Amino acid sequence: MRKRKFGPGETVIRLGDVGEEFFLIIDGAATVHVQKPGEPEALVATLGVGDVFGEMALLTDEPRNATVRAAGQLEVCCLGKQDFRRALELSISFRDQIRQTYFDRYHLLHAAA
């Protein structure tokens, strides 16, 4: 994993983009936004230290389904797509945690859509 920093309001991932990285928040917070066609963007979640994001696009190979922005100074650890998939293969507990996160977020994002 490598560390990256984002300033307040800076976009970390954008709705519709190709997913290439998985993120773990190590300092700060991030906001998660979705947007229905023809409607304004809606805030659906705020993530903090220890939370992860970016897994859905890596698991499904579909475009990003939300925009995530730094809610102040944000520091994350990033894991590239291939390393993310390898970690899933090697760690049953990591795989189980990511599956639960995916399931929880799938319902949250589809309820907002």
In tens digits, the chain (113 residues) has pLDDT values of: 899 999 999 999 999 999 999 999 999 999 999 988 888 999 989 999 999 999 999 988 999 999 999 999 999 999 999 999 999 999 999 999 988 888 887 776 666 55
Distance CA 105, CA 69 (A): 17
Domain around 58 = 2-112
CATH of the domain at 41: 2.60.120.10
The total number of structural domains that make up the chain = 1
| pTM exceeds 0.85, yes or no | yes
Distance CA 107, CA 102 (A): 9
- Token pair of 45, please? 């979640």
Distance of CA 3 to CAs 76, 78, 88, Å?
A: 6, 6, 20
Cβ neighbors of 9 (< 8 A, separation 6 or more) are 69, 70
- Lay out the sheet containing 2-6: strands in order across: 2-6, 74-80, 21-27, 52-53
Contact status, residue 41 vs residue 35, Cβ threshold 8 Å: yes
